[in-house]
Amino acid sequence: MTTQASGSGTRSVGWEVYDSPGFYDEMLAVRGPREAAEGVVRYLASLGDGLLQRQRAAEVVIQSMGITFTVYSEADQKDRAWPFDVIPRIVSAQEWDTISAGLTQRLTALNMFIDDLYGEQRAVADGIVPAEIVASSANFREVCRGVRPPGGLWAHICGSDLVRDRDGTVYVLEDNLRVPSGVCYMLENRLITKRVFADLFRDLDIRPVDSYPNRLHTMLAELSPRQGEPPSIAVLTPGVHNSAYFEHVFLASQLGAHLVEGSDLVVDENDVLRVRTVGGPVRVDVLYRRVDDLWLDPEVFLPDSMIGVPGLMRAWRAGNVAIANAPGAGVADDKVIYRYVPDLIRYYLSEDPKIANVPTYLCADDNQRSHVLANLERLVVKPANEAGGIGVFIGSKASMAERAEMALRIEADPRNHVAQPILALSTVPTVRDGRVQPRHVDLRPFILAGRRPYVTQGGLTRVALREGSLVVNSSQGGGSKDTWVLDPTVVGTSANRARARSAHTD
């Protein structure tokens, strides 16, 4: 079945309804477009080959704006134009409000856990999280014990990855609390779609994402140790060779912050962090760091770090500078800790989780490891502390030799591996090879933990560009889409306007 263009003179580029067994499509169902997406689907289908022209226009905009990313899976690792698909992902406003509340709940509990972990460790003493899990966590930082950042907040910025399974259930796949990336691409995606679909932005009530930089600045300013004075904010980048350097530049510009590398900073004799400028050293009140813990301070962590700042941890522990996210926050980034997040929500908040976890097997547990080893062909196995899709094993795609190798790795280091069932990730219509085809997606909203928690209205939809692939990470060759949060009651009216307009433009 194909959704045909409305009116003469246009032809469909392949709007097939592919809600086939095993997959949930975000826009199309068996009987036609989903309610929230109806106006958008009818309008896009009416464009015929004009949709391909919009895709090409988007690619021209990306080139002209210089939006790039590094694909580590490619041998030369050169910067590539940001891979973007012009067809947006649609989420109803009602569903998004529920998701937003669940994400706020989750980050609140995670911050309470981190604060507890570097303090009294009540959750450990009460058996909510086993002591050996914490003691063996690669991201637990003993140097952070006894420190309490402003408000007890450690993870100020979080990018939680959401997926939808075949029955329509939304799950949190993982939390990213160390140096979550991608938010600038969410913002740039919106700018691009506003250019190529100005007519839809005029007609539809699409929730904005533009306020994120202002919200981020407000949250960072709240952390300043010198309240009452204009805060000096700096973005710490590893440098131009980092895959997300474009984002670091973008955010520093949006925040009105210094963009600095470790060599630009110095900690003085009073344990105050300063940035070297042509006018002399200037105090830094808040450091938005895009550098992993172990590279932050060669006095405390890796002594050969050339991108860190000697004495930074002293300045932070003295309360002279705030760091977002705080050192040590990554302990809750551990995929083994992820398994306990629903329990932590109940423990700290006395509430049931509003968004479910994906069922997770801990290979450190003898019984669960036996199950994993016996069912590798039906599971995804992940290293506990990697990011960007690195080291992820998908059993259904693996050969017998690869499964045997994975079993050996699990046996050699069970604590460092978790397993989850292979979810039938939802799909979204995507322009590939001149046609509209289904591609699997996930979604990364961004959450700010401050005096007034904030969740972006939508997020970065990442899309697996290869047919049948479940790998959506941009660093592994995936692409992205804009995410539109829409009110179906408003879309209904807009759909009529869109259909009327298309009838007069044929």
Q: Give me the residue spans of the domains in the chain.
A: 102-173+208-349, 359-421
pLDDT value for 78: 60
* Pairwise pLDDT comparison (66 vs 205), residue with the higher score: 205
**Class of residue 221 by CB neighbours under 10 A (exposed 0-12, middle 13-18, buried 19+):** middle
* CATH class, 102-173+208-349 region: alpha beta
Top-confidence range, 8-12, 342-346, 396-400, 469-473: 342-346
Top-confidence range, 54-58, 221-225, 493-497: 221-225
Work out the average pLDDT over 260-269. Answer: 98
Which of these, 127, 129, 130, 136, lies nearest to 414 by C-alpha position? 136
The pLDDT-based confidence of 2 (bands split at 50, 70, 90) is: very low
Q: Tokens for 452, please give them.
A: 């007034």
pLDDT value for 471: 77
Work out the average pLDDT over 136-162. Answer: 95
pLDDT in tens, 172-218: 999 999 989 999 999 999 999 999 999 999 999 999 999 999 999 99
pLDDT value for 502: 44
Distance CA 301, CA 209 (A): 37
pLDDT value for 488: 62
Work out the average pLDDT over 302-308. Answer: 96
Q: What is the mean pLDDT of the chain?
A: 89
Q: 225 near 285, Cβ under 8 Å?
A: yes
Work out the average pLDDT over 450-479. Answer: 87
Three-state DSSP class for residue 362: strand
Instruction: Give the dihedral of Cα atoms 96, 101, 104, 106; nearest 10 deg.
Output: -100
Q: Is the pLDDT of residue 303 over 90?
A: yes
219 residue type, one letter: M
pLDDT in tens, 378-433: 999 999 988 766 788 999 989 999 999 999 999 999 999 999 999 989 999 999 88
pLDDT in tens, 421-447: 999 899 999 998 888 999 999 999 999
**Class of residue 36 by CB neighbours under 10 A (exposed 0-12, middle 13-18, buried 19+):** buried
424: left (phi over 0), alpha (psi -120 to 50) or beta: beta
Task: Mark 373-399 as b/e (b = at least 16 C-beta within 10 Å).
Answer: beebeebbbbbbbebebeeebebeebe
Beta strands in 37-92 (DSSP E): 68-70, 79-81, 84-92
Per DSSP, 474 falls in state G
Half-sphere exposure of 245 (CA within 13 A, CB side): 15
pLDDT value for 411: 96
pLDDT value for 51: 94
Q: Does domain 359-421 have CATH number 3.40.50.1820?
A: no
* Pairwise pLDDT comparison (484 vs 476), residue with the higher score: 484
Which of these, 326, 471, 482, lies nearest to 388 by C-alpha position? 471
